[in-house]
Chains A and B, each alone.
Chain A
Amino acid sequence: MGTETLTSEQRKGVITSILVVMLVLFLFGVILVAGRPIMYFGTETSSVAYVVAIYAPVVAICILAYRRLS
């Protein structure tokens, strides 16, 4: 069973879910940049570097999911 069994409505649901995951990343990225850096990193640059490294697998899975749909 693969993604070919999904109806067009279900595809909309999946694409929206991928968008939501990306928006969660965006929201907390904005809070980080607008607010304080992560504790123990101290600086904004190292906090952003940590966030980028942690988010990389999430973004990769979202891209994989989107490619499977198309």
Chain B
Amino acid sequence: MLPWYIPVGAELGTTMLAFIVAYAGVKAYGKERAAYFLAGSVLWTSIIENLGVIDKSYTYYTYAGLFGPHYAGYFFWVGQVPLWIELGWVVVALSLFVLFHDVILPGRSPFLQAAAAGLFAVNIDLVIDPVAVANNLWQWINPSVYILGVPIYNFVGWFCLIFFYDLLFNFTILQSKPVAVLGRIEGLVLKDRYTSGAKPARFAFRLVVTILAVAVLLTIIADVLVAVAKAGGVA
């Protein structure tokens, strides 16, 4: 067993970074939009990460019992996933969103900005995941093709999570008008969307609907890919 300060340091350090990135988001996009980014990002990654644990791809319980029988491995959890994991996603997603939308590729295609942020996130994860796995912060348990102790599909997952969330936030909250199909669904469900005070409900609705829709779609695609890989003897 590794020293206690490894899991505690990771949890505490990432939580502190989440506060700093929240400050960055507020400065870049204002309180309201930053709050939607943070809440949406936690929801988005909670769904995907919990599905990963339920699917037995990985586990976060390596340090369970470190501080007594009731200690599950980390202090704060969202379902089967430690909160700091979701916050880690927030940290990467928001800082890269600001970087690529406002400085590196301002005014360029949103798809290009999202793809660049996704690739950059994979670059960062080429260190995060191998270091975390070596130090038991989480453990991959699914049979697959591994590189540096990490399944290759994890890196595809990183790209997809950052790429889709970047687009999702951009088209639902950051731009004043949502994409047409979302606007129509919104019109059917939120009858009072033009009254004063309806804006928060509209933003929350857009974000939650698109997050759920894209998360379900990605899960289906991932399950199909895993099934095909298993049938072909790859996984």
Interface residues of A (CB under 8 A from B): 1-3, 5-6, 9-10, 12-14, 16-21, 23-25, 27-28, 30-32, 34-40, 47, 50-51, 54-55, 57-58, 61-62, 64-65, 68-69
Contacts and interface: CB of A to CB of B under 8 A. Distances in A.
5 residue pairs, one from A and one from B, having the closest CB atoms: A13-B28, A13-B27, A1-B107, A16-B24, A39-B149
A3 to B, nearest CB: 6
Which of A5, A28, A51, A64 is the most central at the interface, judged by chain B CB atoms within 10 Å of its CB? A28
Contacts of B25: 13
A16 B28 CA distance: 10
Interface of A is mostly: helix
B188 interface: no
Nearest to B10: A31
Interface in B1-53: 2-3, 5-6, 9-10, 13-14, 17, 20-21, 23-29
Contact of A61 (B3, B23, B91, B104): B104
B205 interface: no
Contacts of B149: 38-40
B131 interface: yes
- Chain B interface category by residue count: 35 or more
A56 to B, nearest CB: 10
16 contacts: A2-B106, A13-B98, A13-B102, A16-B23, A20-B17, A23-B20, A24-B92, A25-B127, A27-B17, A28-B127, A30-B13, A31-B6, A31-B9, A36-B135, A50-B127, A62-B99
Nearest to A27: B13
Interface of B: 2-3, 5-6, 9-10, 13-14, 17, 20-21, 23-29, 91-92, 94-96, 98-99, 102-104, 106-107, 120, 123-124, 126-128, 130-135, 137, 148-149
B104 A20 contact: no
Contacts of A32: 131, 134-135
A35 B148 contact: no
A12 B27 contact: yes
Contacts of A21: 95-96, 99, 124
B21 A20 contact: yes
Contact of A28 (B27, B99, B103, B131): B131
Given A36-B2, A57-B123, 6 more contacts: A2-B107, A17-B95, A24-B92, A31-B135, A39-B149, A68-B104
